[in-house]
C-alpha cells in the first residue's frame, strides 16, 4: 500500500493565504540551524509573520565553530533587508544533550537515525521556547536543505505541537527554489557556508570525502 506523500509547501501556502485574508500577522519562532539556511526563510516568512530566530544547535562541533555560526546568524539578522524586523533569541550550547541522544548511533550514516534524534532534540527545545515566549507558531529552517528529511521534520514538529499545545508551521522550504535562493542570498551577504552539517560525526565524514577527492585528483604514481 502506497502512502500518499504530503506536499508541505502547498499546506504552507494555504496557511499563508488564510492569514492574508484575515489580516493577521502572528508571531513565529523559527529554529535556525545556520545563517545561510535561514536567509531565504527570513526573506519569505517575514512577509507574513513577526519573526524571532531561535538558535539552539548543541550538535555543532567544535565550540569555536558553534560561536562562529552564532555570530554569522546575528550578522545576517542585522544586515538583511526583511519585510518586518527580525529578532534573535540564543539558546544554550549544550553538547552533552546531543551526545546523549546520539549514543548508540555514532556510526550511523548522515541522514539516518542519529540525525532524526538530533532533529527531535532541537525541535523539542524550540517548541518549549515558543510556549515560554507565548508565540503563535514555531518551525525550523532545516527543511531547506536537500539533504534533510522534510517528512521527518514535519512529523516531529506536528507531534510536538500536540504535546506542547502550540501550532507547528509545516514547511518544505527547499520548494519554490528556496534552496537556490538561499545560495544567492548567502553570496549577496558574504555568508560563511560550512562544508559539514555541524556535528563531530558529519565533520569526520566531510574530512573523509575531502581525502577521497584529493586522492582522485592527485593519484599516487
Report pLDDT digits (tens) over 95-136: 999 999 999 999 998 899 999 999 999 999 999 999 999 999
The arithmetic mean of pLDDT across residues 140-166, rounded, is: 97
User: What does each C-alpha distance from 18 to 48, 74, 125 come to in angstroms?
Assistant: 11, 31, 28
Residue 211: per-residue pLDDT? 67
Peptide bond just before 96 cis, omega within 30 deg: no
Phi/psi of residue 198, nearest 5 degrees: 160, -40
How many CA atoms, within 13 angstroms, populate the side-chain half-sphere of residue 21?
A: 6
Residue 213 has a pLDDT of 66
**Across the chain, what does the average pLDDT equal?**
93
Residues facing 52 on adjacent strands? 29, 87
Q: What pLDDT score does 194 carry?
A: 82
Secondary structure of residue 185 in the 3-state scheme: helix
Domain chopping of the chain, boundaries = 8-194
The pLDDT of residue 214 is 63
What confidence tier does 140 reach under pLDDT thresholds 50, 70, 90? very high
Write the CB contacts of 140 (distance below 8 Å, at least 6 apart in sequence).
30, 31, 32, 33, 119, 122, 123, 126, 153, 157, 171
Residue 64: what pLDDT? 95
The beta strands (E) that lie in 67-109 are given as: 87-90
For range 163-190, the mean pLDDT: 98
d(CA 166, CA 4): 26
Per-residue pLDDT band at 80 (split at 50, 70, 90)? very high
pLDDT of residue 1: 43
- pLDDT of residue 216 exceeding 80, the answer is no
Give the model's pLDDT for residue 219. Answer: 63
| Contact in structure between 143 and 8 (CB atoms under 8 Å) | yes
Checking if the pLDDT of 3 tops 60, the result is no
Residue 187 CA to residue 54 CA, distance in Å, equals 23
Which pLDDT tens digit goes with each residue over 46-78? Answer: 999 999 999 999 999 999 999 999 999 999 999
Level-2 CATH architecture, domain 8-194: 3-Layer(aba) Sandwich (3.40)
Q: Give the Cα separation of 21 and 178 in Å (integer).
A: 24
Kindly state the cell numbers that stand for 108: 550511523
- Give a three-class secondary structure readout of 103-122: CCCCCCCCCCHHHHHHHHHH
Give pLDDT, residue 209: 67
Which percentage of the chain shows pLDDT scores above 90?
85
Contact at 8 Å (CB) between 105 and 93? no
How much of the chain exceeds pLDDT 70, in percent?
92
Amino acid at each position: 500500500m502506497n502512502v500518499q506523500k504530503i506536499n508541505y509547501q502547498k499546506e504552507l501556502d494555504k496557511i499563508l493565504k488564510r492569514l492574508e485574508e484575515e489580516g493577521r500577522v502572528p508571531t513565529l519562532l523559527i529554529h535556525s540551524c545556520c545563517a545561510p539556511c535561514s536567509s531565504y526563510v527570513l526573506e519569505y516568512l517575514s512577509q507574513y509573520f513577526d519573526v524571532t530566530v531561535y538558535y539552539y544547535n548543541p550538535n555543532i562541533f567544535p565550540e569555536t565553530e558553534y560561536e562562529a555560526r552564532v555570530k554569522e546568524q546575528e550578522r545576517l539578522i542585522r544586515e538583511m533587508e526583511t519585510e518586518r524586523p527580525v529578532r534573535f533569541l540564543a539558546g544554550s550550547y549544550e553538547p552533552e544533550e546531543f551526545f546523549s541522544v546520539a549514543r548508540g548511533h555514532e556510526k550511523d550514516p548522515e541522514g539516518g537515525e542519529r540525525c532524526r534524534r538530533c532533529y527531535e532534540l532541537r525541535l523539542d527545545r524550540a517548541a518549549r521556547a515558543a510556549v515560554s515566549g507565548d508565540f503563535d507558531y514555531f518551525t525550523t529552517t532545516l527543511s531547506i536543505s536537500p539533504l534533510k528529511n522534510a517528512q521527518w521534520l514535519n512529523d516531529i514538529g506536528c507531534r510536538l505541537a500536540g504535546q506542547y499545545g502550540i501550532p507547528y508551521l509545516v514547511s518544505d522550504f527547499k520548494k519554490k527554489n528556496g534552496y537556490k535562493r538561499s545560495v544567492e542570498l548567502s553570496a549577496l551577504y558574504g555568508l560563511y557556508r560550512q562544508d559539514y552539517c555541524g556535528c563531530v560525526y558529519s565533520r569526520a565524514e566531510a574530512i573523509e570525502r575531502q581525502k577521497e577527492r584529493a586522492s582522485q585528483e592527485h593519484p599516487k604514481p
